[in-house]
Chain A
Amino acid sequence: MNALPQQLVNGLLLGSMYGLVAIGYTMVYGIVQLINFAHGEIFMTGAFGALTVYVYILPNGTSMWVALPLMLIGAILVAVLVAVGAERFAYRPLRNAPRLAPLITAIGLSLALQQAVWAWYPDAKSARTFPQISGGPFHIGSVTIQTGDIFLLVAAPISMAVLGYFVMKTRTGRGMQATAQDPDTAKLMGVNTDRIIVIAFALGATFAAVGAVAYGLKYGQIDFRIGFILGLKAFTAAVLGGIGNIYGAMIGGVVLGIAETLATAYISNIPGMGKFGSQSWADVWAFVLLILVLLFRPQGLLGERVADRA
């Protein structure tokens, strides 16, 4: 049986998740040139927000069709609250500091958030199970799609479309573009840049929260460390797609996801490469791809070559 379609779907699903998280990296970077390393942990707190709604707020045995929208709201609320709080109390005071200061702050914040969930969330010291949508998998030809993955397949394109509309068509969205191009001039033209920056953090957190609910549904468990590796992968996806470009984040995510999946499945079939083909090598191949793309397109797949601001 030809496994290629299934492997492509596997990669697409993994990549969509990377993409949803990558949007947060790319938006914040596009506007304040800050790599928000705590973004993976914002994703993680979103997942715990959704779990809280299901386990501690809703009555036992609530149907997933009722619970899912509420869990999504819970996830978004928690993630946005954490992201906006981080912006207000950790990053804003450092807005004019040398670039490395907010970067190190972000790494510190990332560790602090992990440890906070570890210490204070009930039973979060090991993995907690996430509610699942019942119903069997769907078969389309030779491809099997799990029920939990449907959410991701639907949510990722809708989120992208909404974000695209928001950034291109609305007044706030245009304000964001203006701030990204030149914050000082945007300010002079009457754009409230502080507000725009908060909105960028909040939007990024919203997408991370959608990704977090998708993660829970897909893998059935969450723990306090899920944001770390996923955050690094999403950051990689953002760079691959062209950091600062929202469509690039999604495309970078999908390319990265498919590259990892295909590397796992097929590299070992190449004669002499058997040793380098397993999943433990997939990350290596993904980064080889990243390096190759950056060699030929330093601005990333969709990034524009803009003059560096000194």
Chain B
Amino acid sequence: MRQRSLIAITAALAAGALTLTACGSRSGDKGSSGSSGGTTVTIGVDAPLTGDLSAIGLGIKNSVDLAVNTANKQNYVKGVTFKIEALDDQAQPSSGQQNASKLVADNSVLGAVGPLNSSVAQSMQKVFDDAKLVEVSPANTNPALTQGTNWQKTKARPYKSYFRTATTDAIQGPFAAQYVYNTAKKKKVFVIDDKKTYGAGLAATFTEEFKKLGGQIVGTEHINPDTKDFSAVATEVKNSGAEAVYYGGEYPQSGPLSKQIKATGAKIPVVGGDGMYDPTYIKLAGSDSTGDLATSVGAPVDTLDSAKQFVANYKSAGYKEAYAAYGGYSYDSAWAIIEAVKKVVEDNGGKLPSDARAKVTAAVQNVSFDGVTGKVSFDEFGDATNKQLTVYAVQNGAWKPVQSGTYTG
């Protein structure tokens, strides 16, 4: 009988393992910073530094590092030296929460930048809020994070300590729908998402607006983000007669998905959100990805006058990885915390007060400065007041901006 029970145990282990695709956390390396005495303030960074999404995550970390180094070099806050503590969340909510607890436990941490994933943010918000520690995300786009789960009916801000410099899906999905329907003239769309907070949210807001405009949803599908085999879904898309595919999710899945859809012979564009807007997408999707579209928050960083300095500084700092989709927003997120620390220190006669965390959180609510991505300030929910979006298309193996604008209801 031992064999039979062994198989039972193994099967149970296997089932457990399926749900815990990758557990455990790895603490990231500590960022560099010069020290010039005085108080040291740490800005935490939480992002996926390893795994599928590391291309975006490392861009976030480097950009925060650049902001901190710039502040130190300029001696922007007198008597305060900033440093970063970068933790890897592997895009897993459980790791994100552990990282949040770790940052809260470190008394020198007065603010955190991150995370990348909305689902990770959900697990971190309460931990930070209980400690009155401010969190500014450069990338979370799920509306519920700032406006509550009932955001479509009654907006209510769940956590006073959470802010973001990114625009929400409530704007991004409809913006994409308007582009697809009005500009690209596609009337039949197949909608796919990965069931995660970000992807499902984006797909839902897109669907709602697309139907309102008069478009037809010819099919819906939810993929399993753990697999790379989307052939069954691709065949469904081909047979649905769709003129375009809208995908709510991120590039590790949408790249192969686009490749497999094109391989069936359906030469239709795949459209996605900012989670798709990364050079890795084009690498994964292959040469057939030409014409695929993605919306991303803000105006293209490298075309903004305000961003030229950032791009130049980033280059001269010699980071190994690109600043990626959220570099400018990460820099601005970090700078919002630096501005807040400056205000708190100056109001307290050049020293940090004992309740610095709460004061910094309150100060972030009122910051207003010209950042990399334009004017940075937050509304009553903690959302960025800058609501610009851009549609990018794959041309000659790179993302090229095709239309910028702001979404108006």
Q: Which residue of B lies closest to A222 (CB)?
A: B228
Within 8 A of A (CB), among B190-237: 194-195, 220-224, 226-233, 235-236
* A126 contact set on B, CB distance < 8 A: 51-55, 252, 280
Overall SS of chain A's interface = helix
* A191 contact set on B, CB distance < 8 A: none
Assembly CA distance A280 to B253 (angstroms):
13
Tell me whether A144 and B263 are in contact in the complex, defined as CB-CB below 8 angstroms, given that A33-B3, A103-B6, A261-B232 are known contacts.
yes
Stretch at the interface among B13-21, B139-147, B387-395: B13-21
Is B264 in the interface zone, CB < 8 Å from A? Answer: yes
* A229 contact set on B, CB distance < 8 A: 18, 21, 226-227
* B1 contact set on A, CB distance < 8 A: 308, 310
Assembly CA distance A146 to B229 (angstroms):
13
Question: A14 contacts B229, CB within 8 Å?
Answer: yes
Question: B13 contacts A107, CB within 8 Å?
Answer: yes
Is B284 in the interface zone, CB < 8 Å from A? Answer: yes
* A225 contact set on B, CB distance < 8 A: 21-22, 51
* A13 contact set on B, CB distance < 8 A: 231
Question: B284 contacts A127, CB within 8 Å?
Answer: yes
Question: A125 contacts B13, CB within 8 Å?
Answer: no
Question: A280 contacts B222, CB within 8 Å?
Answer: yes
Is A279 in the interface zone, CB < 8 Å from B? Answer: yes
Question: B231 contacts A261, CB within 8 Å?
Answer: yes
Distance between A129 CB and nearest chain B CB, rounded to angstroms: 6
* A129 contact set on B, CB distance < 8 A: 283-284
Tell me whether A10 and B265 are in contact in the complex, defined as CB-CB below 8 angstroms, given that A239-B7, A280-B222 are known contacts.
no
Question: A127 contacts B52, CB within 8 Å?
Answer: yes
Within 8 A of B (CB), among A1-50: 1, 3, 6-7, 10-11, 13-14, 33, 35
Overall SS of chain B's interface = helix
Is A195 in the interface zone, CB < 8 Å from B? Answer: no
* A132 contact set on B, CB distance < 8 A: 286
Is B256 in the interface zone, CB < 8 Å from A? Answer: yes
Distance between A35 CB and nearest chain B CB, rounded to angstroms: 5
* A99 contact set on B, CB distance < 8 A: 2, 6
Distance between B55 CB and nearest chain A CB, rounded to angstroms: 6
Question: A219 contacts B222, CB within 8 Å?
Answer: no
Question: A280 contacts B4, CB within 8 Å?
Answer: no
Is A245 in the interface zone, CB < 8 Å from B? Answer: no
B-contact bits for A203-232, CB 8 A (1 contact / 0 none): 000000000000000011101011011001
Assembly CA distance A239 to B233 (angstroms):
27
B-contact bits for A276-310, CB 8 A (1 contact / 0 none): 00111111000000000000000000000000111
Q: Which residue of B lies closest to A146 (CB)?
A: B263
Q: Could you tell me how many residues of chain B have their Cβ less than 8 Å away from some Cβ of chain A?
A: 51
Distance between A269 CB and nearest chain B CB, rounded to angstroms: 10
Q: Which residue of B lies closest to A111 (CB)?
A: B24
Assembly CA distance A86 to B94 (angstroms):
31
Q: Which residue of B lies closest to A275 (CB)?
A: B222
Distance between A91 CB and nearest chain B CB, rounded to angstroms: 15
Question: A11 contacts B232, CB within 8 Å?
Answer: yes
Is B259 in the interface zone, CB < 8 Å from A? Answer: yes
Tell me whether A221 and B222 are in contact in the complex, defined as CB-CB below 8 angstroms, given that A265-B236, A309-B3 are known contacts.
no
* B195 contact set on A, CB distance < 8 A: 280
* B223 contact set on A, CB distance < 8 A: 278-280
* A281 contact set on B, CB distance < 8 A: 222
Is A118 in the interface zone, CB < 8 Å from B? Answer: yes
Within 8 A of A (CB), among B250-276: 252, 255-256, 259, 263-265
* A107 contact set on B, CB distance < 8 A: 13, 17
Is A157 in the interface zone, CB < 8 Å from B? Answer: no
Question: B239 contacts A1, CB within 8 Å?
Answer: yes
Distance between A217 CB and nearest chain B CB, rounded to angstroms: 12
Tell me whether A7 and B17 are in contact in the complex, defined as CB-CB below 8 angstroms, given that A126-B51, A308-B4 are known contacts.
no
Question: B232 contacts A279, CB within 8 Å?
Answer: yes
Distance between B280 CB and nearest chain A CB, rounded to angstroms: 7
* A11 contact set on B, CB distance < 8 A: 232
Interface positions of A (Cβ within 8 A of B): 1, 3, 6-7, 10-11, 13-14, 33, 35, 99-100, 103, 107, 118, 125-127, 129, 132, 137, 144, 146, 219-221, 223, 225-226, 228-229, 232, 235-236, 239, 243, 260-262, 264-265, 278-283, 308-310
User: What are 12 inter-chain pairs, A to B, with CB distance below 8 A?
Assistant: A3-B236, A10-B235, A33-B3, A125-B51, A127-B284, A146-B263, A219-B228, A225-B22, A229-B18, A235-B10, A239-B11, A278-B222
Interface positions of B (Cβ within 8 A of A): 1-4, 6-7, 9-11, 13-14, 17-18, 21-22, 50-55, 194-195, 220-224, 226-233, 235-236, 238-239, 252, 255-256, 259, 263-265, 280, 283-284, 286
